[in-house]
Each structure stands twice: as C-alpha cells, then as structure tokens.
Structure 1
C-alpha cells in the first residue's frame, strides 16, 4: 500500500500554485528517511511571476505610514501564536526536531522578533536636518530598497524566515522568499498565515511570496533583474555564488554564512558549569548551527579533567524521535549532511582520539551520536572546517596569546565565547577575538535587540537589532534652497 504524499505549493500573489512546468521534488522526513510530501521545483517562469507580484505590490507597501506596516507585523505575530501547534508540527516534520524544543525554544523568540521589527518600523532614525552650506538645508531620508530576494537555510527554516521577512517588510520592502529544498513545509505555512493577514487588513498579498526549489531556483532569483537586494543564510560556497551573481548588476547583498566558533576555557573556570553550557550549545539542534560551540580550546592545566567531564556529558545527551520528550536533539537534516559528518569522523588523523560518540544512531533516519574528539592540532581539517553536526573538538592551549592565535586562525568569524572568572582577561579576549559575537561565560543566547552577523568568510550584514533593520534600507540626501 502506497501512502499518498502531501502536495506543497508555491505562494505567488496570494495564490497557491504548482510550478509552471509541473516539476516537483520529494521532501523527506529526516527522522525516518522517508518522503512525506512533494514541493514545486520552480523555474524561470515561477521566479518571474513571484518577482512581478512583489514589484507590483511594492509602491503601495512602501508608501504606507510605518504604523500601518506595524499593524500587519503585530497581527502576523498574533497569528504565529494562535497557530503555534501547526507551525511546530510542520517544523518538526521538516527537520525532525523534538516537538518540545520547537515549542519552547523557537516559537517564543520568533514571535518576539516579529514584534521587535514591528516596533522598529516606527523608529527609522537619521541625522537631523541642518544647514551645511549657506542658504541650503539638508535632509537625510531612509527608504526601503525595493523587492528583496531571500533564501533561507534548512537548519532553522522558520526562524531564519522570520529573520528575513520581518525586517524587510517592516522597512517597506516586498519579499520573494525561497526555503531550502529539504525544508519547505513550514515556510509554505508561513505564507498562508502572512497572506491571510495581508488580505484581512486590505493589503496586496503580493507583498510576500514563497517559491520552492533547489539551488538553480535560488540562482534564478539572485540573477533576476527585479530585486534590489539578495539575502541568503547558507554555506560559504553558496554565499560566494550569490555575491558573484549579484555583482553583475550591483545588487545589494546580505550574507550570513558558516561559522567555526572558538570556545576558550581558561584554568579558573568552573569546569562543571562550563561543560554543561558548552555541551548544550554544541549539541543543540544536532550541532547544525553556525554559532554552535563545537571548537573548544581549553587550558592545558585542566585539559584532561575537562575532556573527561565533556565526554560524560556527551554520553548523557540523547538524540531520538521528535515525539520523545527526553531527547535533546533530533536527526541531521538530510542524507548528504549525515554523509558529511561521517566523512569528517572517518577521516580523523591518527593523533586524534574519539572520546565519545563517533557513530550513527539507529537504522532509520539521519541520527548521529553526540561526539567529542580530542588530541587535535590547529591545522587539522576538522578544526578548520565547519562540520555542522553534533561533534565537539577539543584542543589544549598554553597561554592567552596562543588561545587568541588559534581562535582567530580559521576562515570563519561569526561567533565565539570565553570562559573565565577574570574580568580583565575576558575584556582583553573580547577585544582580540575576531568574531561578530563574543559571549562571556555563556554561549549561543540571542536577543532581538542585539545584532547577529560575522566577518571574513562568515559573510557580512547583520540580522536582528536596529542594525539588521537598517540593512533593508537605503539612504537618500535631499537638499533644498532656502531662497524658495
């Protein structure tokens, strides 16, 4: 007996549509490895239609007073709360995430972030008008950039969609959003929610559009002549491709890419508390987080004790099915990601030692055991490259200077943390660490008011905060003669 797969569809100009040429791709539940839905494999005709809808809707949306855009976003946040269980179910099936953790760790911050940007819509700031030349007054205007082409990743499909559409809509832009080809379900549901709110409040549903597809679909979006800005959260390779494509017509680009966060643990740290926080920040979401605490540098005087404690924490951490309330994380998102994690572990150098885990879990789905690897050197591949799995590496450092050198000695620069009771040392490290975020005695908390974004190959531009909001605006100088 064959189970009929659910059919997901694009959302363009307020209508759910199949791909123009009828092509589809299967969507797999990573906790079972089995397909549960099909989604459109959108092509040029679909991209054209979505961009046309967004472009048509843009003038009226741009010209709304900010208070009206705020009403829309606040209503969207309300709907997210009202339909939370639907969103949780879709995201859990999308990603295999534990239901309880999506409910507690994703829905509340998403709602809060939408409401933050609803408020930000009314707080566009610029320099005061003034006379900088005799007889002339200058004014600075902040304006929306236009249509935004946005590509969200598969590790946090819902939350990253919020990080993209909320500031863009608040600033007066219109959106064409593409989810990952492996995780379209929750984004399609978001389109239904937002479309309903726009319709209810009398605005064009073309303000927000969703098209499903693969890398080629994303490429078509970025290369399209209509959008003024392309925003992507994804791999370094994808970010480079987007930047190259966007350069052909000088689109603005917003890139949040990979990470390889150093976690620097000094000898005065409370080891038990540090291990607890680091294990949680390293294994949350199966380590599929650009800011994950997966590269630990620990002072040589406490190295052995720390590794023993971390290995025990790994052994005590459970992975399993989404409906199991006792598991901390679910499967890796897809078969390719599972293969990548296996490749890193299978390719470990002889001097490395697996202290915990290092193997797949179960016969169904893409589960991988919480893993700790010690004995590593700075130039080892697993230290230098992003694993994006539940794998924590440990290196032993000699002194503060070496900790800084090794921390900064990778191509990524998104997030980092320092664990010490010495306030002066923490301040020195926060200055020297070349990362967009430095946590002290914690790792991974994010708040809507503070910026998130990196340097180097972790990309550029900020998510969240007023800085993230401003990224979706442009600045215009207006000068007027006082002579009339």
Structure 2
C-alpha cells in the first residue's frame, strides 16, 4: 500500500506516514459497516446512549493522547486543545447520547376511513463521511456522534494531512461499539472519491471547501445518495458606529485569529460604519501586532494566503503582516488590510488564515448589502448597542448563524450549517440528528 508523508506544520519536518486507501480498502470498510448496520440499526436508544457516554468519558481520560497526536499534525497549542476542543468533543458525544433517546415517530390518526397512520424515524444506513484538517478530532466527532446515535454505521475519511486523532478515536470507540459501527479509511482525495462513489453508502456527509462539496454532490447524484454538506464560509462582521471600539476589537481579533484563522466561521471580513472606521482599524492593527498565532496547515495553504495578499489591488492598505513569519514551519504574520472593495478577490474568497480585511460602509442598508455580497452563507455577526437595529440586521443577514455583539461561540444544542455555497444540512442539535434519519409512513387497516 502506498503512503503519504505527515508533516509537522510548526517545523515543516516530516515525522511519519499514513496509508493511502484504495478500492480494496474502501470496499472492505464499507462492507464492514454494512454488515454491522444489520444489527446496530436494531439497537435500542438506551444501548446507543450508553456507548456514546462511555466514549465521551474515555475521550476525556485519554485527553493527553489525543492532544499529542493532533497538535503534532496541526501545530495547535496543546493547552487550547486540552481546554477547548477535547471537552467540546466529549460534550457533543454526551449531547447526542441524550438526543438518541428523543428520536420518535409521530403518532397519527385516521386520515383514511378505517385506517390508522403513524410515522417511524429510522436510520439511513451506511454513512460515508469526509472531514477537514482544521479541527480533525472535533469534526470527526460532529460526524460520528449523530450518525451512530441515530442507528447508522459510518465509514469516515479524514483529511490526508491530519488523520491520526481520527484513527485514535475509532480505536477508542471500538472498545464500546460492535465491530464495524465506526470505520476509518485514510488517504488522499482519490480515496474520498472512491468512498463517495461506492454503491453501498446511502448518504455522504462532508465538512470541507465549496469545491469539495460540489464534487461530492455530483458524484453522489449518480447513485442518488443523500448529501449533507457543511462547506466553506466567509463570515461578515458588521460593526456599527455606536459600539465600544476597544471591546469590539478584542472580540473580533479573538474570533479572527483563533486556530490561525483556519475556521469556516472566522471573523475575518470586517465591515465598519464610517463613524468608527479609522478608530477600529487602528485598534485591530494594534491587537494584530501583539497577537501570536499557530501555523497554517501546509505550505500550500501558506502560499495561497500570501498570494491573496500579494495580488491586492492598489487601493488596499496593508497595516501589518502579510508575509511569512520566520523560516521554519508555515506561519503567517497576523495581518490587517483596509481600503478594500466588494469585488476584490480577497473579499470574495475565504482566506482561511490570520488575515482581517476591512471595508467601510455608511448606511445600514449598505452594510447589509456588502455583508450578503458573497456566495457563502455560513456565519455572521452584528455589533451594535441598538437592540432594534440588531434585530433588523439579524433578519436581513443571509447566513445560517448570526451572532450579536460576539462571534464564534457554538453550543451542542444549536444547529450549525449555512446557506448558498456554504452548503445545506446541519451539524449539532436535534436538527442535526434528524438529518441522519429517514421517515417512513405506516398505515394499518383497522379490523
């Protein structure tokens, strides 16, 4: 079997390899999942709950092991991994453990004389899943937990650069689940294509770029698989001139540079009302110069971000950053750019790096129009002390999530997913659980 090199993005050094699954490996995993589905689908909600709770507990017990393998492949801060992402991952398992026991069909009545109707919620079947490299463990949990809570089995392909925490999670889950319920196949894009095209999975769920989501949808259409697409974002941060500038700048920088800006909800596209534009740009610049961020995922990602900065139009002003930091690893200087216009490449594209772009607007309508003027529609935020304005703008922003005077917090109880080229389907919440079920109508003739 061929392999891919694994590179530590903090150093740029190769430290290991990962197998590249091809047709035989993908087929074996899918067949294993299909076999397991015949019995797992009939497990009780109580049994599924017990397994998910046990996985959550074991995940936290082995937190150091997960932090070690993920930080080596992502360059993340170990303390942040231990304080944020691993507890969040455990919480998602615990949420869906409870939600598994809420799945129920609807009792109905007699809509045809002499016949009683009812609705059943059933698992879909084998689910093919593909996860990205920015949050390898957390995204695997977001995919696996609702799928198996609903009674499905899964075959998951992690990103080629960050497979290890997902493999470790599958090994841990195998201690508490029947064989074949959770399967992982590592590899490259071709591995993912083989998984999506395989005739057995009934559904494909992907978190990734818009490009990847479009390719998945096209391939899945050949066999009419259901698709669940959580794709790229380009979140607007709409700041009105009644805000406390220092407080807003603190919140924006924290949400823009978390995970080195490699977050589909990152607060990097800032739209500022004219009255506080210059003051906010200065505040963002000051905080960016003092910020410390981790590396980008790869040399490819670093080159892409630098390329977007290098191709800036003449009206753009780079206040700080925009260049590689150091000569070891894939670090980009925290960057703030103002003077941008709606049609600029760096505004239309999701940068996925520690880069904040700033656009000026005058009226409320102009701010909303600029915010909505990109093809992605995942997340957004509005910053104002005017409650009526916050309500109006929240309604008009065409994004799956709108935060008010904050940006970024997520809750297992609330759905995460977008509109437009950010895809469709929801992760988290009971809505996310419903996405992994199908509805069956049962009609019974009376007497």
Contact 1:23–1:40, Cα closer than 8 Å, also in 2: yes
Q: Which residue of 2 aligns with 1:426?
A: 390
1:396 corresponding residue in structure 2: 360
Which aligned segments of 4 or more residues in structure 1 are displaced greater than 4 angstroms? Answer: none
Distance of 2:148 and 2:365 partners within structure 1:
45
Report what 2:166 is aligned to: 187
2:48 alignment partner, one of 49, 66, 69? 69
Matched, 1:39 2:3: no
> Is 2:248 the counterpart of 1:284?
no
Q: What aligned pairs does 1:262-411 form with structure 2 within 5 A after superposition?
A: 262-319=236-293, 330-411=294-375
Measure the CA separation in 2 of the matches of 1:270 and 1:232: 39
Counterpart in the other structure of 1:113: 92
* Map 1:427-442 → 2, pairs under 5 A: 427-442=391-406
Note the residue ranges of structure 1 that are not aligned, 5 or more in a row: 1-21, 320-329
Residue 82, structure 1, aligned to residue 61, structure 2: yes
Q: TM-score w.r.t. structure 1 length?
A: 0.92
* Aligned residue in 2 for 1:412: 376
CA offset digits 1:337-384 (Å, max 9, x no partner): 001001101111111011111111111100111110000011000001
Q: In the aligned structure 2, how far is the partner of 1:469 from the partner of 1:292?
A: 25
Instruction: Kindly report the root-mean-square deviation, in angstroms, between the aligned alpha carbons of the 2 structures.
Output: 0.7
Aligned partners of 1:435 and 1:173: how far apart in 2? 29
Q: Deviations over 1:430-479 (max 9, x none)?
A: 10000000000000000000000000000000000000000000000000
Q: For structure 2, list consecutive stretches of 5 or more residues without a partner in the other structure.
A: none
In the alignment, the residues of structure 1 paired with residue 107 and residue 373 of structure 2 have an alpha-carbon distance, to the nearest angstrom, of: 43
Distance 2:109 2:152 in 1: 28
Measured after TM superposition, the shift of residue 126 of structure 1 is: 3.3
Q: Distance between the aligned counterparts of 2:330 and 2:105, measured in 1?
A: 49
Please name the residue that 1:15 is paired with.
Answer: none
**Within 1, Cα distance between the matches of 2:73 and 2:115?**
57
Q: Is the contact made by 1:94 and 1:186 (CA closer than 8 Å) also made in structure 2? A: no
- 1:251 is the counterpart of 2:216: no
Q: Deviations over 1:139-159 (max 9, x none)?
A: 100000000000000000000
| In structure 2, distance between residues paired with 1:410 and 1:81 | 39
Q: Find the aligned partners of 2:375 and 2:283 in 1 and give their Cα distance.
A: 29
Which of 91, 96, 99 pairs up with 2:70?
91
The secondary structure found in structure 1 opposite 2:253 is helix
Taking structure 2 as the reference length, the TM-score comes to 0.99
**What are the superposed Cα offsets for residues 374-409 of structure 1, whole Å, 9 maximum, x if unpaired?**
000110000011111000000000110001110101
Q: Residue 230 of structure 1 is aligned with which of 204, 211, 228? A: 204
Cα deviations across residues 153-175 of structure 1 (Å, max 9, x unaligned)?
A: 00000000000000000000001
Tell me by how many angstroms 1:96 deviates.
0.4
Aligned residues: 447
1:48 matches 2:27: yes
Indicate the SS of the match to 1:64.
coil
Q: Residue by residue, what CA displacement relative to the aligned partner does 1:217-236 show, whole Å, maximum 9, x if unpaired?
A: 00000000010000111111
Give yes or no for the alignment of 1:157 onto 2:121. no
Output the CA distance in 2 between the equivalents of 1:390 and 1:404. 24
The aligned counterpart of 2:152 is: 173
